[in-house]
Chain A
Amino acid sequence: MASRHTLIIAEKPDAAERIASALSNGNGLKKKFERKIPYFEFEKDGKKVFVVPASGHVYTVTQIRGGRNYYPVFTFQWAPKYLVERGAKRTRNIINLFRKLSKSADEFINASDYDIEGSLIGYTILKYACEGKEKQAKRMKFSTLTKEELIYAYENLMPCLDFELVEAGMTRHEVDWLYGINLSRALTLSAVKQNGKYTTLSVGRVQGPTLHFIVQREVEIRSFVPVPYWEIKAIAEIDGKDYELKFEKDRIGRKVEAEEIVKKCSGRFGKVVSIEEKEFRRFPPEPFDLGSLQREAYRFFGFTPRRTLDVAERLYLNALISYPRTSSQKLPPTINYRGILQNLLKNEKYEKNAKILLSEKELKPREGKKEDPAHPAIYPTGTPPEKELTVDEAKIYDLIVRRFMATFGKPAVRLSTKVTVESNGYTFFLHGGRIIYEGWMAFYHPYVEVGEVILPVLKVDQEILLKKVDYLTKFTEPPPRYNPASLLRLMEENNIGTKATRAEIIDTLYERGYVRDERMVATDIGFAVVETLNKYCPEIISVEMTRRLEEKMEKIENGDEKRENVLVDAVDQLRPVLDRLKTVEKEVGSDLSQAIQIEFLRKRIVGTCPKCGTGKLMILRSRKTSKRFIGCTNFFVGKCKMALPLPQKAGVQTTEKTCKTCGWPIIVIKPFKRRRFEVCINPRCPSKQQKTN
C-alpha cells in the first residue's frame, strides 16, 4: 500500500456500497473484507479510493476512571465503543480497518449522513482512528443515495468538516451522558442498597420529562370521575327517507331539559328556515418531515415511530427516498420535481397520477413552515426498487410517494350545505357535504378520508316531520392514554429530544418497564421513578430545563454558543440535584424498592383462576423440583389446587389477554432464538383440539 489513496467514510455498509458503486460507475469496483468488515476499492482518475463503512457510532462517551457503583461522575472521555459497551466487539475491527487504511491515505472524506450524528461519526473516526485527520478532511453533502446526487456531492466537496454540527453533536452526547449516568446511578444504587437486588433504573434528560407526561395522564385517568350529559338525537323523514339532524346544543347538562326537548319536538313538524351552501377549499397536505411521516404511518398502518424510522432508513439506503431524519417541510426545486415524476412514470401504480402532474405547466408543492438546514422534506427519488420491497417497506414507500404527489395537487373543493330547521322554539341542523373538485385528494388515495352526505332537495318554509326525537344519556370520558405517535407529537410540541432520538426514547420507556401496552399505561415503577424525582428534584422531570438545554445546543449548531458553556451549565444544574439525592438515598431506595416488588409481582400474575374464580393464577416455582409452573394463590389458604405446566427452557411472559375460545388467560412463550408466540394456558382448550385435528 505504498501509493497514496483516498479514504471515504460511510455511515453504514449499504451506504458505502451505494457510494462506491456510484463513484466508480461500476468500473473495477472490488468488494473486500477485513475481519468480516466489508469495504470497497476502486480507481478514480488514476487514484485508488477506499470506501469504508462505520456501523453507526464506533466511539462513545465514557467515564475516565473508576467503577460503576458511585456518583456523581463529571469527568469523561471519548473511547472506542468496544471498550465501553457489551455487544460492540465488531467496532474493534472497524476501527482497526480505518486505522490501517488511513496510514497511507492522503485524502479523507466524511460521507456519512449529513446530520449531527453523521458528522460526529466521521469526526470521531478521523480524529481517533485516523489519528488527527479531522482538520484536513472534506465533507460530502447529499440527501439521497442516488447515483447522480452522490457524483455531484463528490465533485462539489465541502472543503472541511462541518465543525459546528460536530460540536453540537459532541455536546449532545456528553450532556446526555452526564444526565443519564448520574441520575440512573443515583436511582439504581439507592434501590440496590435498600433491597439488595439489582434492577437497572434509568432516567435521562429527555426520558424524565417524557415519562412525566405519561404519568400525569395516568393520574388524570385513574382519578377521573365522569359527569352525565344528554345528547338529542333527531330523525327526520324526508321523501320517505330518514335523515339524522343535529340539535343546536351538543350537550344538555340537565336531564329535565333533555326530557322537555323530546316532549316538545318528537313526532312534530319542523320548518326549514334557511338553507346555506358554502364552498370550502381544502389545501394539499404538507410534505413529510420525520414526525408527520411517523404519525401518518401509525394512523394508517399502526406502525410505532421506531418501526417507521427503521423502514424509512432502509428505503433511504436503497436510494428510494431522501434522507428521512429531517424536520423540514420544504421541497426545493433543486430536487428536480419533473425528474422524480418521470421516474415514477415507470411504476404502473403511479403512472396515471405522475402523467397528470407532468402535464401541468408549473409544478409548485405546498410546503410547511418547518425548515432543516441540512435536508429537504422526505420525498421519493423515483428510482425503481432493485429488489422486491417487504410488506412494511411497500406501505411506507407508497405513503411517501402519494404524499409527495399530493403536495403538487390543487386545493380540493367541498360544497357544504347547512339546513336550519325550527320546531317548537328549538333549532336543528341538517348537514350535508360533498367534494365537488377532488384536486390533491386524487393523488393521496387511499390515505384521504372523505365523508360525503348527500341531502335531498329542500326549500325554505318546507315542513319536515321530526319522526323521532330522543335523548341519549352519556358520560364525559377521561382523556385518552398516549400512544407512541401522540407521545411523539407531544415531545415535538414541547421541543424535547430530536427527530433522531424521540422514537428511541419511547422504546426505552418500554424496555425499562416504565410503561406497557400500545395505549401507554404507566407501571408502578414508572410512577415511582416520576414520584421520586418529583419529590426530591422536580427540575429533572420538568420540560423547562431540558428545553432550555435543547435551545442552547441548537445555538451551537448555528455557531452562537460554545460547547464548554453548555457543559458547565449542565454540570451546574446536575450537581445540586445529585447532592440532594445522595442525602435522601434511603428514602428514595425505599420508595423505588416497593414499586419494583409490586411490578415484579404483577409480571408474574397470569390472570384470574378459572377454577375457583377468586384466586389469581401466578407463575411459581416448585420448592421440591425448582420447576416453573402456574398455580393459584388460593392454594396457600387451602382453597384451590389448580396447577398447570409451563415450558422450562423458554421465556414466559404474562399478558392481560384471555382466550377467545375458552376465556382462560393467554401467555407469551419466547423460545430461545425462535419466534415468540401466544398460547392459551388451558391444556384442554377447544382451539388446541381443532389444531390437532
Chain B
Amino acid sequence: MYTKEKYEGEFCKWHKLSYEKLKETFKRWQDALEISWKQFLEEVIKNPNTGEWAREVAAYILKKEG
C-alpha cells in the first residue's frame, strides 16, 4: 500500500480502483460466459494476466463473502 488513506473504509486508492475495474469487468464476463460473481473472482485470481492489486481485492472479497 502506498498511502495510508482509506476509501470507503475498505480499500486504499489503488485497491478501490481495482475494485471498480472488477465490477465493470464482471459485466463483460457475464456477457461472455454464464458465470457467477464468485466463479468470476476465482477465475480472476487464477488468471496470470490479472494485476496484483486486482488479484488482492478479488481474494479479499472472496474471503469476506465466503
A residues sitting closer than 8 Å to B (CB atoms) are 219-229, 253-255, 475-478, 524, 527-528, 531, 591, 594-595
Contact = CB atoms under 8 A, between A and B. Distances in A.
A645 B14 CA distance: 39
B32 A228 contact: yes
Contacts of A226: 25, 44, 47, 49-50
19 contacts: A222-B14, A222-B18, A222-B51, A223-B14, A223-B18, A224-B50, A224-B51, A225-B25, A227-B29, A228-B29, A229-B32, A253-B32, A254-B31, A255-B33, A476-B49, A477-B49, A531-B2, A531-B3, A591-B3
Contacts of B22: 225
A595 B18 contact: no
Given A222-B18, A223-B17, A595 B2 contact: yes
Interface in B27-66: 28-29, 31-33, 44, 47, 49-54
Interface string B4-25: 1000000000100110011011
Contact of B51 (A223, A254, A591): A223
B37 to A, nearest CB: 13
A528 B2 contact: yes
Given A224-B21, A225-B44, 10 more contacts: A220-B51, A222-B53, A223-B21, A225-B22, A226-B50, A253-B31, A253-B32, A254-B33, A475-B49, A478-B51
Nearest to B2: A527
A254 B51 CA distance: 23
Contacts of A524: 2
A225 B2 contact: no
Q: Is the interface of B mostly helix, strand, loop or mixed?
A: helix
Contacts, number: 66
B11 to A, nearest CB: 11
A528 B52 CA distance: 18
Contacts of A227: 25, 28-29, 32
A638 to B, nearest CB: 27
Nearest to A477: B49
A240 B24 CA distance: 48
A253 B25 CA distance: 13
Contacts of A478: 49, 51
A254 B50 contact: no
A219 B14 contact: yes
A254 B18 CA distance: 24
A454 B31 CA distance: 40
**6 closest Cβ contacts across the A-B interface?**
A224-B51, A226-B49, A225-B25, A223-B18, A222-B51, A222-B53
B43 to A, nearest CB: 8
Contact of A222 (B25, B29, B47, B54): B54
Nearest to A221: B51
B14 A228 contact: no
Nearest to A258: B32
Contacts of B31: 253-254
A228 B18 contact: no
A254 B31 CA distance: 7
A254 B28 CA distance: 9
Nearest to A226: B49
Contact of B17 (A219, A253, A477, A528): A219
A610 B57 CA distance: 28
A220 B18 CA distance: 9
A226 B52 CA distance: 12
Contacts of B21: 223-225
Contacts of B49: 224, 226, 475-478
A241 B21 CA distance: 46
Given A253-B32, A531-B3, A591-B3, A225 B54 contact: yes
B33 A225 contact: no
Contacts of B54: 222-225
A475 B32 contact: no
Contacts of B50: 224-226
Contacts of B2: 524, 527-528, 531, 594-595
A527 B3 CA distance: 10
Most chain A CB neighbours (cut-off 10 Å) among B3, B28, B31, B32: B32
Nearest to A530: B2
A223 B22 CA distance: 9
A564 B59 CA distance: 57
A475 B54 CA distance: 15
Contacts of A221: 51
A225 B32 contact: no
Contact of B33 (A228, A477, A531, A594): A228
Nearest to B40: A225
A528 B51 CA distance: 19
B53 A223 contact: yes
Contacts of A219: 14, 17
A253 B32 CA distance: 6
Contacts of A477: 49
